[in-house]
Amino acid sequence: MAKPKRRYICAECGGVSSRWQGQCPDCSEWNTLVEEAPETKFTAKHDLSSGGRAIAFESLDSPTKPLNRRSTGLAEFDRALGGGLVPGCAILMGGEPGIGKSTLLLQAAAAIAKTGGDVVYVSGEEATGQVRMRAKRLGLADAPIKLAAATSVRDILTTLGKGGAPDMLVVDSIQTMHSDMIEGAPGTVSQVRASAFELIRYAKETGTCLVLVGHVTKDGNIAGPRVLEHMVDTVMSFEGERSHQYRILRSLKNRFGAVDEIGVFAMEGQGLEEVSNPSSLFLSGREEPIAGSAVFPAIEGTRPVLVEIQALIVRLQSGATPRRAVVGWDSGRLAMLLAVLESRCGLSFSTAEVYLNVAGGYRLSDPAADLAVAAALVSALADKPLAADAIWLGEVSLSGEVRPVAHSALRLREAAKLGFKRACGPVDGGQDVKKLGYSDVGGVASLVDRVMASA
Ligand code: TYD
Ligand code: MG
């Protein structure tokens, strides 16, 4: 028999080398290479080097079974999934600790169990008593969920193998799971990968819908290295500021639906409430027109969300270096817009501190928000409030022109629905919306004229 190949995996980045080294050649961390167990019962059983089976090829147009999607009982969750859970799919639910992943999954599990689904909820982090307490708080204590506290993948799969396969299996979290196929403490790359691999294999074989909870590290990756993202069908991220009550469920990868679709929730005393009209959440508290506030119609997936952009400009008397602080937007883009406003319109921000905030803790990355940000900045600088019933959209180029943006009809329709009367954007951008007045803003110079005139 050929000598089994040894592999060394870096516990930081997941890089693979064929020999042990003190420093990982990929991420340059020290003492992170760990040997991957060369031969286990599992690898021996599925070893391909000792004569494999012949596989049958299929044609692309051979008939496939339609996806029997199952609702999670939460319309916002279904929307982010692209229409519900698909049997046999593996979902990774990432998010910072305390954001509400366990709450969301317990609510979904309870809804599925109540409609006759067979649901198993395995908690590796909390004792069953803690999960029961949460269920009681959510008013879901009567849901027929099969609950267990376990961390051994073998125990879980043995138990599940005894009865019929459940419709849904929640594993909270994958970092606490331990597979005896491989050495190492739970949470290390090789353990996380091996445990996930066995669970996903089970899901694919039985048609169980598997949901793995994964904690996010401080730099935003799921489970340290991104090893799991390749293995699962769907990667979801549950986001939000812990100090704000709203949460956004985003799909980052989806083999069964579109990505960038979001679900919006609010964390209340009795669990997560669905928010079907997110604009109302992000625009709340706008009564008096204030200088430095502009409304922008953002797009999340296929859904428009109106958000408020706030700018504050403070003139400095001393010669100190003025600060630029941004929350919810890119600071590089703010610097670019300030430069465009300075050089194309002669406005001076150089002796002023500039603060920019997207209200409600929302994060924007869409260049279509340029015009709204510029409008907020000019309005704050001139101390003139913008019309309260106007929205702003358009991408600002370095030459100071305002360019058209994607999905503008969708954005304008949402604004009209929420009672806005006027949209300001690129030239000829408003033909297809009837109920909304439209003003052409061809460039930043005409933006400044408009703001100055709106006294
Ligand atoms: P949890 O689901 O435990 O977060 P995760 O699994 O992502 O770590 O939720 C944690 C927070 O949610 C906790 O700080 C309390 C809060 N919470 C509510 O505000 N209302 C509720 O009904 C529940 C169950 C939790
Ligand atoms: Mg949890």
For ligand 1, what atom is nearest to the CA of residue 245?
A: 19
User: What is the pLDDT, as a whole number, of residue 447?
Assistant: 92
For ligand 1, atom 9, the nearest C-alpha belongs to 100
HSE at residue 263, side-chain half, CA atoms within 13 A, is: 26
- Which CA distances in Å does 384 have to 15, 308, 349, 450? 55, 16, 16, 11
User: What is the pLDDT, as a whole number, of residue 250?
Assistant: 86
Cα 228 from Cα 224, distance rounded (Å) = 9
For ligand 1, atom 10, the nearest C-alpha belongs to 98
Under a CB-based contact definition with an 8 Å cutoff, are residues 175 and 223 in contact? yes
For ligand 1, what atom is nearest to the CA of residue 267?
A: 19
Q: How many whole angstroms from 127 Cα to the centroid of ligand 1?
A: 15
For ligand 1, what atom is nearest to the CA of residue 172?
A: 6
Closest CA to 265 of 103, 155, 49: 103
Under a CB-based contact definition with an 8 Å cutoff, are residues 340 and 396 in contact? yes
For ligand 1, atom 23, the nearest C-alpha belongs to 271
Under a CB-based contact definition with an 8 Å cutoff, are residues 76 and 274 in contact? yes
Angle at 302 between CA 68 and CA 98, to 5 degrees: 75
Q: Using a 6 Å cutoff on CB, does residue 271 contact ligand 1?
A: yes
Beta-strand ranges (E) seen in 21-136 are: 33-36, 90-95, 119-123
Residues with Cβ < 8 Å from 239, sequence gap 6 or more?
95, 99, 247, 248, 249, 250
Say whether the peptide bond before residue 173 is cis (omega within 30 degrees of 0): yes
For ligand 1, what atom is nearest to the CA of residue 101?
A: 7
Q: Using a 6 Å cutoff on CB, does residue 215 contact ligand 1?
A: no
Q: Using a 6 Å cutoff on CB, does residue 108 contact ligand 1?
A: no
Q: How many whole angstroms from 117 Cα to the centroid of ligand 1?
A: 24
User: What is the pLDDT, as a whole number, of residue 132?
Assistant: 94
Closest CA to 324 of 312, 340, 309, 341: 312
- Which CA distances in Å does 68 have to 44, 92, 261? 35, 20, 20
> Residue 182 corresponds to which tokens in the numbers above?
């491989």
Closest CA to 387 of 439, 430, 427, 434: 439
Angle at 369 between CA 443 and CA 240, to 5 degrees: 170
Task: Tell how strand 246-254 and strand 234-239 pair up.
Answer: antiparallel
Ligand 1 test: best mutation among 103, 104, 130, 242, most atoms within 8 Å of CB?
A: 103
For ligand 1, atom 14, the nearest C-alpha belongs to 98
Q: What is the pLDDT along the chain (455 residues), one digit of tens a residue?
A: 555 567 788 877 878 888 888 888 888 888 888 887 655 666 666 654 454 567 888 888 888 777 789 999 999 999 899 889 999 999 999 888 889 999 999 999 999 999 999 999 999 999 999 999 999 999 999 999 999 999 999 999 999 988 889 999 999 989 899 998 888 888 788 888 899 999 999 999 999 999 999 988 666 555 554 678 889 999 998 888 777 788 889 888 899 887 767 888 999 889 999 988 777 777 766 777 889 999 999 987 777 889 999 999 998 887 788 899 999 899 999 999 999 999 999 999 988 999 999 987 788 888 999 999 999 999 999 999 998 889 999 999 999 999 999 888 888 888 888 888 899 999 887 776 777 889 899 999 999 998 888 75
